[in-house]
Amino acid sequence: MRYARLSVGGRPVWGRVGETDVELLSGSPLEDEPDLIGTVPRATAVWLPPVVPGVFYAVGMNYPRHIAHAKVATPERPEVGYRANNALTGHRSPIIKPREVEGRFEAEPELVAVIGRTLRHATYDEARKAVFGWTIGNDVSARTWQHQDRTFWRSKNSDTFKPMGPWIETDVDALAQTTTMRVNGETRASFPTGDMVFDPFDYLVEMTKHVTVHPGDVLWMGAESTCQLEPGDTVDVEISGIGVLSNPVLLEGNQQ
Amino acid sequence: MRYARLSVGGRPVWGRVGETDVELLSGSPLEDEPDLIGTVPRATAVWLPPVVPGVFYAVGMNYPRHIAHAKVATPERPEVGYRANNALTGHRSPIIKPREVEGRFEAEPELVAVIGRTLRHATYDEARKAVFGWTIGNDVSARTWQHQDRTFWRSKNSDTFKPMGPWIETDVDALAQTTTMRVNGETRASFPTGDMVFDPFDYLVEMTKHVTVHPGDVLWMGAESTCQLEPGDTVDVEISGIGVLSNPVLLEGNQQ
């Protein structure tokens, strides 16, 4: 099943995504079994981030090639960081490049696990069962700020820097897929989605030794590659079996 | 006015706190003008964190004495980090010290600004008007983890490490108050709440150059002093004109 959140009359509404239509739902499938309350054609859907997390977890270095490229040590244990909800934006919404940003302004294509159950002291098998589904994230990063600042607050969490979507796919072996990043239709990276140092369930086992994760929390799994973005570009992140997250890049002040 | 969130029949309910009673409200005063739906005696109230933020912002080094003690450079500009909602706990709820934690396990008494308006590109005056009210936070920290780990995930965000409360006070000049920390009734620190390098409005002006803050977001303002906590202790953080946030400390596995 594919679950999305759409903007309908200016309000967020959950939906079940079909081939041509999105069936609108009375509530969140993460909380209960919602009723069908209407239908909109998929072609006219306005996509929101498919969930607004209570906690927005993000993994840093987690792909061997990225680690080698960054010349850092391979992590010896799963350690997690955070991103911020203000930065979330949906499929097809613009990534706004701030006018102050100079130098590298990059996309990072990531698999995202969406948590469906409350979990603490989880086994690997309990962690597997607690993932409700999978979506796609683009961890847009302004490198000059990343190196200048004490935290990632504006380098990775400025408004629109965290596209997520288009939907949550519940029926896929996410670690057996291929992640592909394209800019203006040209492939810039393609790698096995599951080629990770630690997989999402390893992370959840380690995290839940100390923290409780809740339904709706998200875990972004890190990127294998990055690529430069310029205003006017459109960046697509595709994970086979899940979908395509596509966002145009606009210069601040030039958006509608 | 003092607004709190209570657990009533296992569900979170907003309330308006009086001298002897808490008037229960139909919804959040951050979103609309809620109706009165009941009353509970203040003595029997079960206090929850007074808000669950969309984004949980936290300032690091922001008091001259703390900066001198930590032997770090005084920040040249306001930079903000994050904490995680799983760690929040209310007034009178226990801080659970994990069995694995060795060495310094410390309290940090902090002023917390609760945002009431959506804000972007704010002036100092707009930032002042966007603060709905003030509460108290205790930024409990396990220092060995803080130094071992790449992020603050478990050192500052393990479950129960972020007591916040007891309520939001809307009518106080928060920066003209005194913060006092007591352990088992004995004063361990007392300092002018407003003796900051950058005040909350300075932070909001800088932050909103890049991020949108929303009603319910919180901004923890950093601590001037820390003190060691042991299982069996009770730690109080008082900010004059706001209230007292009090939490017992228990060793993991010894809680009820």
C-beta atoms surrounding A41 within 10 Å: 9
Alpha-helical segments (H) within A17-142: 64-70, 124-130
Show the domains of chain B with their CATH numbers: 1-48 (2.30.30), 49-251 (3.90.850.10)
Q: State which amino acid sits at residue A7.
A: S
Please name the residues between 197 and 256 in chain A that touch chain B, using a CB distance below 8 Å.
207, 210-214
What pLDDT, in 10s, does the model give residues A58-72?
Answer: 999 999 988 988 888
| Among A29-43, A174-188, B122-136, B174-188, the least confident range | A29-43
Cis bond leading into B78, ω under 30°?
no
Does residue B69 carry a pLDDT above 90? no
Which residue in the set B84, B149, B212 is minimally distant from A82, CB to CB?
Answer: B84
Q: Residue B50, Cα to own-chain centre: how many angstroms?
A: 9
Torsion, Cα of A126, A128, A133, A136 (10° steps):
130
* Residues A88-107, mean pLDDT to the nearest whole number: 97
Does residue A115 carry a pLDDT above 80? yes
DSSP for residue A213: B
What pLDDT, in 10s, does the model give residues B75-86?
Answer: 999 999 999 999
> Does A11 lie at the interface with B, CB-CB under 8 angstroms?
no
B55 Cβ contact list (under 8 Å, min separation 6):
A84, A85, A86, B82, B211, B213, B214, B217
The length of chain B in residues reads 256
- Sign of the dihedral through C-alpha A52, A213, B55, A234: negative
Q: Which residue of B lies nearest to A96 if distances are taken between CA atoms?
A: B210
Instruction: Name the residue with tokens 């102050």.
Output: A100
* Residues B83-100, mean pLDDT to the nearest whole number: 98
What pLDDT, in 10s, does the model give residues B103-117?
Answer: 999 999 999 999 999
* Residues B56-80, mean pLDDT to the nearest whole number: 92
What stretch of H or E contains A203?
helix A200-207
ipTM of model: 0.96
Q: State which amino acid sits at residue B110.
A: E
Q: Residue B120, Cα to own-chain centre: how many angstroms?
A: 23
What stretch of H or E contains B210?
none
Q: Hey, of A211, A213, A218, A252, which one would you mutate to test binding to chain B, going by the most B CBs within 10 A of its CB? A: A211
Of the candidates A218, A100, A203, the one whose C-alpha atom is nearest the C-alpha of residue A163 is A218
Q: What is the C-alpha end-to-end distance of chain A, expressed in Å?
A: 34
* Residues B116-144, mean pLDDT to the nearest whole number: 98
**Which residues in chain B are closer than 8 Å to A214, comparing Cβ atoms?**
86
What pLDDT, in 10s, does the model give residues B243-256?
Answer: 999 999 999 997 65
